[in-house]
Amino acid sequence: MLLIKRLTSEADVYSLVLLLNKADAPIALDIETTGLSSFKDSLISVAIACHLGSFIIEARHAKHLASLKCPLILHNFKFDYTFLYRKGIDLTHLDCRDTMLMHHLLDENQPHSLDHCIQQYFGDNYKEVFWNTYKTFEDAPEDAQDRYAGLDADYTLKLYNVLCSALKEEGIPNALVKQVHAFAFAMLDTEIQGVNLDVKRVKELGLNNRIRILKLEKDMRESCLQAIETIEGELYARELDKRKTDKGKAAVRRPVFNWGSSQQLQDLLYNRLGLPRQFSILRKQTCDDNALSKLEGQHPVIELLREQRALDKVFNGFLVAALEQQKDGVIYPSFNINGTVTGRISASNPNLQQLPSSGGIRSIYISRPGHSFISADYKQLEVTLAAHFSMDKNLLRVVNEGISLHDLTAEGVGCERTRAKTLNFALTYGAGTKKVAKILGCNLQEAERALARYWRTYPGLKAFIDRCHKWVDLGRGLQNPFGRIRHLHIPADADAYEAAGVKRQAFNSVIQGTGAQLTNNAFTKMAEEIKIKGHGRALFPIHDECLIEIKTEYVDYWAARMKEIMVNEGHLIALRVPLDVSVTGGMHSWED
DNA sequence: TAACGAAGCGCG
DNA sequence: AAAGCGCGCTTCGTTA
């Protein structure tokens, strides 16, 4: 039976910390809060699990935990560290191991919540029972709260031991485990400090944007007024039909045509205006931008609509969102270290990785006074890695001699450069004959022949992709040079389509996963070095790019140093081809 | 009213 | 019958 004890006096908490420091054995720490927001919600308690059992520390005494010196184990430590930091309890100098990160390294396909991990390894469902009984944590009586928190911490500690041996057994290198943790620590800094937002500029851009959108919508309406009014009339009639009473009918407002509704838009374009119907690959009728591009010139509304859509996305997705999420001119994004199956990170609230790279939106993010942004990205990283893995003769020429991949493909296949470019992306992601036919604008037979010419140009690449497929068939997963494994297997009951889908992921996972780890490791080194030198800070990576914020007098130094660090990552995994990096620097806003 | 999937689109 | 990898966010429209 697990001992769970609530410490009610400051002296008890203090003695516990002394005791734990003296023992210097790993302990698990888990916080309970009223919610997930470290700004809005408050701390309820902190549970600590050690060899003696679990101890519950009340929020009012939690500050003593900052003097802990023993190794810590947490499940999703970024959450606990950030939350405690905002409550004035700074643990960020304390190293730790994270059972969520470890679990992800073990199996990227599983969910990684503590709940799921406990179910998987210990089969205890106390969490489910708890949440079925109480709606919020505070609803539970104190002893139920303590039992829940105590078990969470205790299981985290047990989980750590289980995961340690599992990682060893699976052949996940300890170096990779360390790299992932160090990277998470670097991202924690950015999450805590945030990135400065130019609120004035957001408002300016937003206003201009809004004015243009309103003008566009007015013109759009006028360009097909009759059809729109017909649709509105029918929508109105349908709404009236739904209401039974006269009073209900009277309350119905005449609907206004909604340009954002794909249903209404399809009705307008294809039924009322009689434009040629466009279909997606899945043979569904669509009016996405690709479809609209085909209709360009056939009706004046198309051109306006495409612009309106783009502006609307920027307005709602990036400007309004930024204003809502900023606090005193600072944006606090979240980074999910195990948000992907390949080893890339994902970002949210906001997703800084999906900010439009053109159109000036990135300029809303600004450097701190006296600092500048520097961005460094790997030049054609995926092609370089494909050359390394496949040792394909032509890919090696591209990487070593600086010959253009797209030119080479255009020559080998016999098509225009722009199509060759699309082809290169498509084929490394596993596109089939149909997609190739679409790209080249030809029939299936011709696509087949073009495909043959493509693989004749890059025979080594073809052989490597085939090898990836073979690894999938063997069912052992694909391990990249850092030791991260992508577990892919074709289910026994899979049909040909499903099987092909799994195989498509294989090659891409190796390339994408290696590229991400390369970038993240380089980023971590920058972050640590910049911090030690007091030159500023590293902000975040974007898949194959690193963004840092540096005191302006060190911009030249860091522009060169970033490149050194990033290129050197290739040597550390014995890459057989050189990495190349391009640096853009010295901007006071994030815009290149 | 909330929860959810689909469509559409931004990034690498 | 389908046929391009990995993400997150907003809006719409349907369902519980």
Distance A321 CA to C11 C1' (A): 14
A110 touches strand B (CB under 7 A): no
pLDDT band at A488 (very low <50, low <70, confident <90, very high): very high
A384 touches strand B (CB under 7 A): no
Q: What angle do CA A167, A170, A174 make, to 5 degrees?
A: 45
pLDDT, tens only, A314-362: 898 899 999 999 999 999 999 999 989 999 999 999 999 988 888 889 9
Which protein residue has its CA closest to C1' of C12? A261
Least confident of A335-344, A368-377, A421-430: A421-430
How far apart are alpha carbons A550 and A370 in whole angstroms?
Answer: 8
Which protein residue has its CA closest to C1' of B11? A354
Backbone φ and ψ for A237, nearest 5 degrees, come out as -60, -40
Nearest to A186 by CA among A78, A55, A313, A317: A78
Which residues lie below 8 Å from residue A428, measured CB to CB, with a gap of 6+? A382, A386, A461, A507, A508, A511
pLDDT of residue A501: 87
For tokens 């698990």, the residue is A28
A260 touches strand C (CB under 7 A): yes
**Among all strands, which nt has the closest C1' to A356 (CA)?**
B10
Distance A15 CA to C16 C1' (A): 52
**Among all strands, which nt has the closest C1' to A381 (CA)?**
B12
pLDDT, tens only, A155-203: 999 999 999 999 999 999 999 999 999 999 999 999 999 999 999 999 9
| Residue A208 confidence (pLDDT) above 70 | yes
| Residue A592 confidence (pLDDT) above 80 | no
Q: How many residues does chain A have?
A: 592
The pTM assigned to this predicted structure is 0.94
Q: When comparing pLDDT for A399 and A592, which is higher?
A: A399
Residue range A520-547: average pLDDT? 96
A122 touches strand C (CB under 7 A): no
pLDDT, tens only, A535-544: 999 999 999 9
Q: Do the beta carbons of residue A381 and residue A567 sit within 8 Å?
A: no
**Among all strands, which nt has the closest C1' to A424 (CA)?**
C4
Distance A502 CA to C7 C1' (A): 18
A351 touches strand B (CB under 7 A): yes
Nearest to A249 by CA among A240, A258, A237: A240
| Nucleotides, chain C, CB distance < 7 Å | 1-14
**Strand A96-98 to strand A72-74: parallel, antiparallel, or no bridges (unpaired)?**
parallel
pLDDT band at A211 (very low <50, low <70, confident <90, very high): very high
| Residue A242 confidence (pLDDT) above 80 | no
| Nucleotides, chain B, CB distance < 7 Å | 7-12
Q: When comparing pLDDT for A561 and A354, which is higher?
A: A561
Which residues lie below 8 Å from residue A4, measured CB to CB, with a gap of 6+? A53, A54, A55, A56, A146, A147, A150, A151
| Residue A207 confidence (pLDDT) above 70 | yes
**Among all strands, which nt has the closest C1' to A310 (CA)?**
B9
A309 touches strand B (CB under 7 A): yes
A498 touches strand B (CB under 7 A): no
A24 touches strand B (CB under 7 A): no
Least confident of A56-70, A237-251, A359-373, A488-502: A237-251
- Residue A236's H or E segment, with its range, is helix A225-242
Distance A319 CA to C13 C1' (A): 25
Distance A10 CA to B11 C1' (A): 50
Q: What angle do CA A347, A349, A354 make, to 5 degrees?
A: 50
**Among all strands, which nt has the closest C1' to A342 (CA)?**
C6
Q: Mean pLDDT for chain A?
A: 92
Distance A283 CA to C1 C1' (A): 10
Q: Do the beta carbons of residue A343 and residue A543 sit within 8 Å?
A: no
A574 touches strand C (CB under 7 A): no
Residue A554 DSSP symbol = G
pLDDT, tens only, A80-97: 999 999 999 999 999 999
How far apart are alpha carbons A176 and A165 in whole angstroms?
Answer: 15
A323 touches strand C (CB under 7 A): no
Q: Please, what is the end-to-end C-alpha distance for chain A in angstroms? A: 60
How far apart are alpha carbons A388 and A553 in whole angstroms?
Answer: 37
How far apart are alpha carbons A315 and A322 in whole angstroms?
Answer: 10
Which residues lie below 8 Å from residue A240, measured CB to CB, with a gap of 6+? A249, A252
| Residue A426 confidence (pLDDT) above 70 | yes
A263 touches strand B (CB under 7 A): no
pLDDT of residue A358: 85
For tokens 């890919």, the residue is A395
Distance A42 CA to B12 C1' (A): 37
Distances (CA, A) of A524 to A46, A194, A388, A518, A540: 29, 17, 23, 10, 9
pLDDT of residue A496: 84
